[in-house]
Chain A
Amino acid sequence: MLGRYVIRRSVAALITLFGVSVLIFFLARVMPGDAAGIALGESATLEQIAAYRERHGFNEPLHVQYWVYVTDVIDGDLGESLYSGSKVLDDLAFTFPATLELVLFSTILMISIGIPLGVLAGRFRDGYIDNFTRVFSLLGVVTPSFVWAVFFLLAFAFYLKVLPVMGRLSEGAVAPPFVTGLYLIDSLVDGDWATFRDALSHIIMPGVALAMASIGQTTRMTRANVGESFDKTYIEFARAYGFKEFRTAAVYALRPALIPILTILGLDIAIKFGSAFLVETVFGWPGMARYGVQVILFKDLNAIVGTVTVIGFFFIVINLIVDIVVAFVDPRIRLGALAQ
């Protein structure tokens, strides 16, 4: 049953992705700005621009341009970045793992800090822990990630000088052999502890800055949902049976509270892919979020479509995974979906 549910969701995801690529292809072309002029730079003459437009097929009707694009994509070619000249596929292959690593790192922080804090706050409502958590999560939610980024930069790189300022690795350090593109994992696979430590020291500040808002949000949600669960009769039963408080909180109170948290978590991870831009910029992190904003500003047509499609794909995959996990956790959802 779960298998059929997954297939249905996957087909829907593919259709959505196709829709996203069509939409962004046309949107990128109709938004203001002359791509050829920007690509050629400030000193380009009108003759140069006209020749460039011709060479890149910008004078063709939009549906013809789309057809050419699709056939190229089928050949595994996402085109050239009009601005940097690099192949978009190369740019994405370079920047995507950097952002993925950052997002995954901040997600791990979000789960490992946000959920336990929320459970504790929910269990000890209106106590010291709850009050502390409330202030902490509120700060996390209301402070934009770039403010955290600048704050951490000044505190730990400028004044204390205990963490590096920018990049994924120190100057002169060699990236670990490619396995996943995630330096933390690749260096572990390679057994290279020095590189692992170096990569870890570089990801801490951007990772925490990116995670702060979601830690706050996860804490607040978990606290609210777990708090509600503690008012339910099944918790009273659990206590009456004499289950230990930790088991009562972590298993019986948390499990029903997890469903809305998981849904938000999925969305949050996907949104981070776009919103990591400012954090990546502050820490010189060569990621896809920063790349995405740059290419939009420069109206880099192929790169915009490539970046948005990859982010869209990731968004859909994450949501698919979350749906499956939620369906697994709550059978009412998957059975309800199949019944429809």
Chain B
Amino acid sequence: MKRFFALIATAFLVASISAQAETVLRIGEGSIGRLDPHEATLVADSILMYNVYDTLVFPSLDGKSTEMKPHLAESIEVNESGTVFTVKLRPNVKFHSGNTLSSEDVKFSMNRIIELNTGFSYMFDGWVKSVDTPDPLTAVINLTNPYGTFYSALARLSIIDSKTVLAHLGKGDFGDLGDYGLDWTRKNSAGTGAYKARYHNTQERSELVKFDDYFLGIPDKAPDLVRLQYGQTDPTVIALFERGEMDIARSFIASETKKQLLSVKGVTIASEPGIAMLFMKPNVTKPPFDDVNCRKGFAYALDYEAMMLQEHVTDKIRGAIPAKSPMPSSHPGFDPTMPPIKQDMAKAKEFMAKCKYKPGSHKIQITWISTVAKEERFALIAQVNWKELGWESYVEPIVWAHWTQKVRGGAGTAPMIGQVYTFARIPDADAYLYNIFHSSRHGQYSASEFFADDQVDEMLDKARTMLPSSKRDALYAKILRRVQDLQATFTGFEVINTYPRSDRFSWPNMEKPNMNTGLMGGNHIFRLMEMKGG
């Protein structure tokens, strides 16, 4: 009898221990992760940003739509001219420090990102005139000009705890504000997010734990601890999955590795469409690409299916879909009626016949970024395709730093063909297209085509001043048709990011309809995940 009771007691003990056991979600990410949200640019930075910090707006996660909705804000009103945004904040939102969110934090965050001039500051710099704080829960953001993207751009302004930052100022270049607290915020969290940093080393890993006072609450089944590990090789990722020591790998590992991982028990692939596209960018100032017929000929000759094949994990798990225009299909303004971009050798020859240059007149330089092995394959595919039209080319690896420097040097130094994966920072047509096709952006990596067209410039300038509306969307559709007609770039395909993942948790952003935020790093929302058996 004694033994029986001892057994029951042990069973209860084991049950209670397992009920309390800490659940851990393990993620492998890129080479580094930066914790200060105002310096964020990479995927890993954005993942940290959206879990440790909150923004005034965020895509709705109700499963009905992904429309941008007030998040830290209770409401946002815009005046008729689109130059004044009145933000009413939610009351009683707590920072990790215990401080309460106020309009001063909004003002401080806006000034900080603009003055630091890093990360996503370009979305606000030059547009924001001032931020007024008539009361602790109201912030009035005054713009210099109407800016239709501004509402969506607020999804990239993390609100930081001003009191905590001001208490941790170090020596720096910002006058009385010293280093703007950078030395501290690079290692510690000062947000309102569902998770706070327990440990962070940019080169090694971040450990995030639940923030119990999160204003939206965190379900018990959400992971207690999230560990982001930086800089893993493909063999390491395979070994970690095999041992059950990894839950999500980064999407940038080789397709072959992903395929191999599918043979590991419990590993599947999560798909994230609508975030990125691959471009093969011609320098349209250099012959033969300065002739629109040549460009069209080259574009029609490209074997897009062969290129997409490099992205697919299996026949069923596809890593790319045909593009219809140079903008992800998830963005407002995308025109689904445009035909998919595909190879057509008959048309390629037809346009090439109208080209003012003849094969042999120029040798085409096709560059690929030496750290992105896939791009070499794209370059080789293009080389073979263009050879069919009689054009000789050479394939040249180049490091990213060198390529961007050449592009910044101007049209004369920019390579003839460069390849770039372009990610959506926010799901907005202006944020995507302006940086590629507006002539004022020449010299930026995204505008390495050096494309210039007065009509396109005019339409882009007009569209960005319009508030989100069907009229604005129609204008963007018109812009897309125009740049496609002029073959301003070679759009490769729309990328579907594919993440190898374990079956130890559920991932609503990837699994349920209408939960894809369309934001780079915005689909790794840990509080929505549920650990199984935890």
Contacts and interface: CB of A to CB of B under 8 A. Distances in A.
B240 A34 contact: no
Interface in B108-157: 117-122, 125-126
Interface in A8-48: 32-34, 37-38, 40-48
B402 A157 contact: no
Given A45-B122, A52-B117, A281-B233, A161 B243 contact: yes
B427 to A, nearest CB: 15
Interface stretch (B55-63, B201-209, B327-335): B201-209
Nearest to B119: A41
B184 to A, nearest CB: 12
Interface in B333-379: 371
A204 to B, nearest CB: 15
B509 interface: no
Interface in B424-463: 425, 435, 441, 443-446
Interface of A: 32-34, 37-38, 40-49, 51-52, 55, 81, 83-87, 91, 94-95, 150, 153-154, 157-158, 161, 165-166, 171, 281-284, 286, 290-291, 294, 297-299
Nearest to A81: B202
Nearest to A280: B231
A37 B240 contact: no
Given A43-B435, A284-B232, A297-B371, A32 B240 contact: no
Q: Which 9 A-B pairs have the closest CB atoms?
A: A33-B401, A41-B41, A84-B202, A32-B402, A286-B204, A158-B239, A45-B122, A34-B405, A165-B239
Contact of B443 (A43, A46, A157): A46
B238 A32 contact: no
Given A34-B404, A40-B119, 17 more contacts: A32-B401, A34-B408, A42-B445, A48-B117, A55-B117, A87-B183, A94-B201, A153-B235, A158-B243, A165-B243, A166-B229, A171-B227, A282-B236, A290-B231, A294-B32, A297-B400, A297-B401
Nearest to B201: A94
15 contacts: A33-B405, A38-B401, A45-B441, A45-B444, A48-B122, A86-B202, A95-B203, A153-B235, A158-B242, A165-B243, A286-B203, A291-B203, A294-B31, A294-B32, A297-B400
B173 interface: yes
Contacts of A297: 371, 399-401
Contacts of A94: 201, 203-204
B250 interface: no
Contacts, number: 135
Contacts of A40: 41, 118-119
B24 interface: yes
Interface string B251-290: 0000000000000000000000000000000000000000
B512 to A, nearest CB: 29
A87 B402 CA distance: 25
A34 B402 CA distance: 7
B232 A37 contact: no
B311 interface: no
Contacts of A154: 235, 239
Residue among B32, B443, B446 having the largest count of chain A Cβ atoms under 10 Å = B32
A290 B204 CA distance: 11
Interface string B18-50: 000000101000011010100101100000000
Contacts of B435: 43
Contacts of B227: 171
B402 A284 contact: no
B175 to A, nearest CB: 13
B37 to A, nearest CB: 12
Nearest to B370: A297
Residue among A43, A48, A290 having the largest count of chain B Cβ atoms under 10 Å = A43
A47 B400 CA distance: 20
Nearest to B34: A85
Given A34-B405, A94-B203, A46 B444 contact: yes
B55 to A, nearest CB: 17
Residue among B39, B182, B404 having the largest count of chain A Cβ atoms under 10 Å = B404
A52 B119 CA distance: 12
B236 A283 contact: yes
Residue among B186, B401, B423 having the largest count of chain A Cβ atoms under 10 Å = B401
B392 interface: no
Residue among A42, A94, A291, A299 having the largest count of chain B Cβ atoms under 10 Å = A42
Contact of B240 (A44, A52, A165): A165
B213 interface: no
A219 B183 CA distance: 49
B188 to A, nearest CB: 13
Nearest to A166: B236
B155 to A, nearest CB: 14
B229 A150 contact: no
B404 A33 contact: yes
A43 B404 contact: no
Contacts of A43: 41, 120, 122, 425, 435, 446
Nearest to B35: A85
Given A290-B231, A291-B203, A298 B443 contact: no
B396 interface: no
A291 B203 CA distance: 8
Contacts of B503: none
B122 A286 contact: no
B178 to A, nearest CB: 14
Interface string B177-207: 0000011001000000000000001111000
B245 interface: yes
A51 B126 CA distance: 13
A68 to B, nearest CB: 13
B186 A85 contact: yes
B153 to A, nearest CB: 12
A153 B183 contact: no
Contacts of B243: 157-158, 161, 165
Contacts of A157: 239, 243
A298 B402 CA distance: 10
Contacts of B201: 94, 286
Nearest to A51: B117
Residue among B122, B173, B232, B236 having the largest count of chain A Cβ atoms under 10 Å = B236
B238 A158 contact: yes
Contact of A284 (B34, B229, B238): B229
Nearest to B421: A42
B344 to A, nearest CB: 32
Contact of A37 (B126, B236, B242, B404): B404
A95 B120 CA distance: 29
B408 A46 contact: yes
A33 B369 CA distance: 13
Given A165-B236, A165-B239, A38 B41 contact: no
A47 B125 contact: yes
B402 A33 contact: yes
Contacts of B238: 158
Contacts of A81: 202
B231 A281 contact: yes
A166 B232 contact: yes
A48 B125 contact: yes
Contacts of A47: 122, 125-126
Contacts of A294: 31-32, 203, 231
Contact of B399 (A33, A86, A166, A281): A33
Contacts of A286: 201, 203-204
B20 to A, nearest CB: 15
Nearest to A46: B443
B122 A44 contact: yes
A165 B243 CA distance: 9
Nearest to A44: B122
Contacts of B242: 158
B444 A153 contact: no
Contacts of B41: 40-44
Contacts of A45: 122, 441, 444
